[in-house]
Amino acid sequence: MDIKELAQNLKEKLGLGNLPVGMYFSATKPENAISFKTKGNGCILPLIYKSAQGKMVAIDQDTTGWNCSAFYLGYQDWIFDGIECFLSDGVVNGRAGERFIKTSLQAKSFVESYKPKILNTNVTVFKPLSDFEPDEKPEIVILFVNADELSALVYLLHFNAPESDDRIVTRFISGCGSIVTLPMKLKREGKMQAVWGMHDISVRRRLPKELMTLTMPYELLIEITKDMDQSFINTESWKAIKDRNTKNADLGE
pTM: 0.94
Residue 246's pLDDT is what?
79
Phi, psi torsion values for 96, nearest 5 degrees: -70, 150
Average pLDDT over residues 144-173: 96
Buried b (16+ CB within 10 A) or exposed e, 191-215: eebbbbbbbbeebeeebeeebbbbb
Q: Would you state the pLDDT for residue 109?
A: 97
Longest dimension (CA), the chain: 57
- Assess whether pLDDT exceeds 60 at residue 131: yes
More confident residue, 252 or 237: 237
Closest alpha carbon to 222 in 109, 100, 137, 127: 137
| Contacts for 187 with CB less than 8 Å, ≥ 6 apart | 139, 140, 217
Tell me the per-residue pLDDT of 3-44, one tens digit each, with 9 for 90 and over.
Answer: 999 999 999 999 999 999 999 999 999 999 999 877 777 889
Asked if 13 and 241 touch (Cβ cutoff 8 Å), the reply is: no
| β-bridge mates for residue 145, sequence order | 212
